[in-house]
């Protein structure tokens, strides 16, 4: 392959809107041409990290509970109302937020917004609908035992981030077993507040009408100060969960920079060189050349104040150690530099992904909500494309030197552990 360069001109015209309500709820909008759908993403600062210490899983149970009746509608009526509007909806707990997302035809957005307002402001949270919600989360936890790859990655995140920021959102069986509706209700009523909440829409929307309707529905929602989360650092190193699985599931994480950090774009380029596509270093070295795995990947993930590079490989137990060593070796080797071809390829991949993601209303609603949460503003595609263009190979190597795969948090689920050898 010869030297190869492309410049993609970002020609998509974008319109962004931000409107902050006095109670702290921020409305974000991106009208898009040529689409009929509209997607909505709501972030309420009541994630699993905010669960009371003795009620791990409270946010997850609350997410289920929200759709069991709100305002004038009981559980059945609420679900049927959303279904009748052709609304695809999901309510879930994340680490830092309670997340409600919907996707629908743009013309149904106003009616659906009114129902979501009921769910957030007037959820019934009744005693007799509580137990099934609790039971569903308990069953989710049990199902996790049958899904080793998913379990491995969830437990890795729990052990990597300062506690409780990365905790398993499903909580603990012990807490769930004794969880009382009154306690979860009290927690939810206090924590579900418009302060620092984000409501983002993208797609076939009329922004002015949306703002006026949202103001009507959410303007008099009373804010309450959010309680800060006390965090505790976690020990690094390996956790091995012995299980007679077909594959050994290896997950590891090491520190990276947050979205607001000056090295953020260098980190994203490093992620792509390492794992962005079938020509990436991990795919080439671990799968293509050695046939050690079916899946191997490194993914950047960021909370507001902490970030990590999360790497996963699933492999036959007898080659688990080799897989681990080759994978860590490849991450470490990034510090020795990346080629001009790799840089050009990574830039193209990032920018093409950006433009193609720009065609999806769901992806855009999620992206602007995340931007605002991390940065307090929205980035245009032009800004992101220019920032990606400016990253140099030296900056990527520097980033990797500053954030090497030392002090790894490793989670191995399978018959045998792996040995972590630190080499310098």
Nearer CB in complex with other proteins: 146/336: 146
Closest CB 223 distance from other proteins, rounded Å: 30
Measured from the CB atom, the residue of 26 and 102 that comes closer to other proteins is 102
CA–CA gap between residue 193 and residue 216 (Å, rounded):
16
CB of 213 vs other proteins, minimal distance in Å:
20
Instruction: List, as one string, the DSSP characters of 349-397.
Output: HHHHHHHHHTT-HHHHHHHHHHHHHHHSS---HHHHHHHHHH--HHHHH
Q: Please say which residue, 31 or 362, places its beta carbon nearer to other proteins.
A: 362
For residues 258 and 19, give the distance between their C-alpha atoms in angstroms, rounded to a whole number.
Answer: 25
Our CB check for other proteins shows the closer of 221 and 312 to be 312
**Cβ 271 to other proteins, closest distance in Å?**
14
Residue 9 CA from chain centroid, whole number = 29
CB 112 within 8 Å of CB 145: no
How far are the Cα atoms of 146, 153, 316, 392 from residue 246, in angstroms, in the given order? 12, 17, 7, 42
- Alpha carbons 252 and 356: distance in angstroms, whole number: 30
* DSSP notation for 176-194: HHH--HHHHHHHHHHH--S
Closest approach of other proteins to the CB of residue 185, in Å: 18
* N-to-C CA span, the chain: 32
| Structure tokens that stand for 11 in this block | 């020609």
Residue 102 belongs to what H/E stretch?
Answer: strand 98-105
Choose between 136 and 397: whose C-beta lies nearer to other proteins.
136
Nearest approach, Cβ of residue 69 and other proteins (Å) = 11
Please, which residue, 22 or 86, has the CB nearer to other proteins? Answer: 86
Nearest CA-CA partner of 50 in 212, 191, 204, 257 = 191
Q: How far is the CB of 303 from other proteins (least distance, A)?
A: 27
CB of 4 to other proteins, least distance (A): 6
Handedness of CA 171, 172, 173, 179 (dihedral sign): negative
Nearest approach in angstroms of CB 416 to other proteins is 15
Cα 147–chain centre separation = 19
Opening angle at CA 222, ends 219 and 228, nearest 5: 125
**Minimum gap (Å) between residue 221 Cβ and other proteins:** 26
Q: Which is nearer to other proteins, 82 or 266 (CB)?
A: 82
3-state secondary structure of 146: coil
Cα 395–Cα 401–Cα 403 angle in degrees, nearest 5: 100
Nearer to other proteins, 85 or 201 (CB): 85
CB contact set of 278 (below 8 Å; sequence gap of 6+): 284, 288
C-beta of 206: minimal distance to other proteins in Å?
18
Give the residue with the Cβ less far from other proteins, 352 or 375: 352
Q: b/e map of 61-78 (b: 16 or more CB within 10 Å)?
A: bbbbbbbbbbbebebeeb
State which residue, 356 or 375, has the beta carbon closest to other proteins: 356
């Amino acid at each position: 392959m010869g030297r190869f360069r492309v410049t993609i001109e970002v020609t998509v015209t974008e319109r962004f809107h931000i409107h902050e309500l006095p109670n702290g709820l921020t409305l974000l909008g991106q009208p898009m041409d040529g689409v009929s759908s509209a997607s909505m993403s709501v972030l309420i600062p009541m994630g699993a990290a905010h669960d009371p210490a003795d009620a791990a899983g409270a946010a997850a149970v609350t997410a289920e509970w929200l759709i069991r009746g709100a305002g004038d509608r009981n559980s059945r009526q609420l679900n049927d109302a959303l279904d009748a509007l052709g609304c695809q909806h999901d309510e879930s707990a994340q680490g830092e937020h309670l997340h409600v997302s919907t996707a629908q035809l743009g013309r149904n957005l106003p009616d659906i917004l009114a129902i979501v307002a009921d769910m957030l402001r007037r959820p019934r949270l009744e005693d007799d609908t509580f137990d099934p919600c609790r039971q569903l989360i308990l069953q989710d936890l049990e199902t996790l035992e049958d899904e080793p790859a998913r379990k491995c990655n969830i437990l890795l995140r729990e052990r990597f981030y300062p506690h409780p920021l990365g905790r398993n959102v499903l909580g603990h069986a012990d807490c769930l077993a004794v969880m009382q509706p009154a306690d979860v209700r009290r927690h939810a009523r206090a924590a579900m507040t418009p302060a620092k909440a984000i409501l983002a829409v993208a797609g076939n929307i009329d922004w002015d009408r949306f703002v006026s309707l949202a103001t009507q529905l959410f303007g008099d929602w009373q804010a309450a100060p959010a309680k800060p989360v006390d965090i505790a650092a976690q020990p690094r190193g390996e956790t091995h969960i012995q299980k007679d699985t077909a594959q050994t599931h290896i997950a590891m994480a090491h520190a990276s920079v947050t979205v607001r950090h000056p090295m953020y774009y260098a980190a994203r380029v490093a992620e792509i060189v390492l794992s962005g596509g079938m020509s990436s270093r991990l795919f080439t070295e671990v799968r293509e050349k050695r046939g050690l795995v079916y899946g191997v990947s490194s993914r950047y993930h960021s909370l507001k104040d902490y970030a990590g590079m999360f790497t996963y490989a699933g492999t036959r137990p007898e080659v688990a150690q080799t897989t681990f060593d080759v994978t860590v070796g490849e991450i470490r080797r990034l510090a020795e530099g990346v080629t001009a071809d790799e840089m050009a390829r990574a830039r193209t991949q990032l920018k093409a992904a950006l433009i193609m993601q720009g065609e999806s209303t769901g992806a855009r609603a999620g992206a602007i909500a995340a931007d605002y949460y991390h940065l307090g503003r929205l980035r245009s595609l032009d800004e992101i494309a220019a920032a990606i263009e400016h990253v140099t190979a030296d900056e990527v190597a520097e980033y990797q030197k500053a954030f090497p795969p030392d002090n790894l948090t490793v989670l191995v689920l399978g018959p045998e552990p792996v040995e972590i050898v630190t080499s310098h």
